[in-house]
Amino acid sequence: MSYSDLDEILEGCRRSNRSSQYQLFSRFYNYAMSVAYRYVSNTEAAEEVTNDAFFKVFTKIHLFEPRDEGGFRAWLRRIVINTAIDRLRSSINAPATQEWRADMDSPMESGIVEQLTEEQIFSLLDQLSPAYRAVFNLFVVDGFSHEEIADTLGISIGTSKSNLARARSRLKTLLADELDLSYNV
């Protein structure tokens, strides 16, 4: 899609034109679903997050400025992530968390992840608790700092670090089971 086509569609969305909204939804649905699926555990939940995110996009489209760094795709990504996190926040009454200790950091062996298919990676992430999965995705995939994660999720920085360390540890164990490798966890 060219920039001028997208600009025209976005202008139509600002005027609440249903056809423009449908075009925007159709063109970015798969992208939004892939972002949402990283944070929630199943397709149905990802669809709900995606639909909620597009509702926010259509009601807040006047706030989007094309000069924003990263453009519309980055703006949509941020809305989808925040919508997924809002959903996780409401579904997690007492997340399993523990303050971070320096001995929790352990590097993952290189080369292992490259051997996995996308389906295997999603399957492994689905086995993490919602709190661990959220922190892992925010830190590793989306590049948030622990300070940003703590602010976004309403947890302490230490809890963010702990959840990341525990997510990595759990993923190492799951990887060992998945690939029949021996790890000293």
Series of mean pLDDT values for 10-residue runs along the chain (185 residues) = 79 94 95 92 89 95 75 92 86 50 48 62 80 88 88 87 89 76 45
User: Do 61 and 115 reside in the same domain of the chain?
Assistant: no
Pick the last residue of a domain from 91, 117, 132.
91
Does 107 reside within a domain? yes
The CATH code of the domain that includes 30 is 1.10.1740.10
pLDDT for res 3: 61
Task: Supply the pTM of this predicted model.
Answer: 0.65
User: Do 83 and 106 reside in the same domain of the chain?
Assistant: no
Does 184 reside within a domain? no
The CATH code of the domain that includes 147 is 1.10.10.10
User: Do 11 and 84 reside in the same domain of the chain?
Assistant: yes
Pick the last residue of a domain from 45, 67, 91.
91
Residues in Cβ contact with 156 at an 8 Å cutoff, skipping those fewer than 6 apart: 99, 150
Pick the last residue of a domain from 91, 125, 150.
91
pLDDT for res 65: 81
pLDDT for res 150: 87
User: Do 110 and 161 reside in the same domain of the chain?
Assistant: yes
Total tally of structural domains belonging to the chain: 2
Residue ranges making up the domain that contains 57: 3-91
As a three-state string, the secondary structure of the chain is CCHHHHHHHHHHHHCCCHHHHHHHHHHHHHHHHHHHHHHCCCHHHHHHHHHHHHHHHHHHHHHCCCCCCCHHHHHHHHHHHHHHHHHHHHHCCCCCCCCCCHHHCCCCCCCCHHHCCHHHHHHHHHCCCHHHHHHHHHHHHCCCCHHHHHHHHCCCHHHHHHHHHHHHHHHHHHHHHHHCCCCCC
